[in-house]
Amino acid sequence: AQSVTQLDSQVPVFEEAPVELRCNYSSSVSVYLFWYVQYPNQGLQLLLKYLSGSTLVESINGFEAEFNKSQTSFHLRKPSVHISDTAEYFCAVSEGNGPASKLTFGTGTRLQVTL
Amino acid sequence: NAGVTQTPKFRVLKTGQSMTLLCAQDMNHEYMYWYRQDPGMGLRLIHYSVGEGTTAKGEVPDGYNVSRLKKQNFLLGLESAAPSQTSVYFCASSQERDSRPYEQYFGPGTRLTVT
């Protein structure tokens, strides 16, 4: 069975500093990987995804994540964060088998950006 | 295009009462999901549907029932609410292409309190 581990429940960071949110997964088959963001009192929104091809994927607001198969990781990074990036971030994995590709979510990392 | 909508947004129930949460999507997606979100536990799949008239159990189905009578609607029912069902409930929908998962689109959530 697939599982996702987000070791950091909270990450405080100053504005304009770099940040890395860690995500490790376990699966016995090929996986598809996602990062979702949840702003306060809202639903989840897709931030970026890895399905195949280049292992480095980017979002439109400056985040990037790299799929590392040997380390079973999909860490999320941003070189310079903004106050508006304050949110909870969820890593998710799908094994893509069967008629419905169910997502397994990590427990989330709360990114708190301060001045 | 409203995307995924959920009603109601908030609800308070007494133990033993019943209620139905409604999810609607206007994207013609085949797949729909119900999750619950609890602090420190991420999102956990309750039930899902791969098409009109079909439903299947997820990770935490006990105490819930679902129905998908129309493609655009997915209902989640609590027959006899318990305090352990106090949570934020999210509905999501998705489509698949070429046997690979596409992103799941989430509703804004329903905050349910059972006293």
Determine, for residues B33 and A102 on separate chains, whether the beta-carbon distance falls below 8 Å. Answer: yes
* pLDDT over 80 at A96, yes or no: no
| C-alpha separations of A42 from A37, A76, B23 in Å | 10, 21, 15
- A63 near A50, Cβ under 8 Å? no
Q: Which of B42, B58, B100 sits opposite A32 (nearest CB)?
A: B100
pLDDT digits (tens, 9 = 90+) for A16-73: 999 999 999 987 777 889 999 999 888 899 999 988 888 888 888 899 999 998 899 9
A34 interface with B at CB cutoff 8 Å: yes
The 3-state DSSP class for residue B55 equals: coil
* Tokens found for residue B64: 């819930």
Shortest CA distance from B43: residue in chain A: A105
* pLDDT over 90 at A74, yes or no: yes
A46, with CB counted inside 10 A (0-12, 13-18, 19+), is middle
B48 interface with A at CB cutoff 8 Å: yes
pLDDT at residue A97 in the model: 58
pLDDT at residue B39 in the model: 87
pLDDT digits (tens, 9 = 90+) for B72-111: 999 999 999 999 999 999 999 988 766 666 788 999 999 9
d(CA A50, CA A59): 11
Q: Chain A 35-64, CB below 8 Å of chain B: which residues?
A: 36, 42-46, 49, 51-52
Phi, psi (degrees; rounded to nearest 5) at B37: -120, 120
In sequence order, what are the residues at sequence separation of 6 or more whose Cβ sits closer than 8 angstroms to the Cβ of residue A2? A25, A26, A27, A31, A93, A94, A95, A104
* Chain B nearest C-alpha distance from A43 (Å): 4
Amino acid letter, residue B47: H
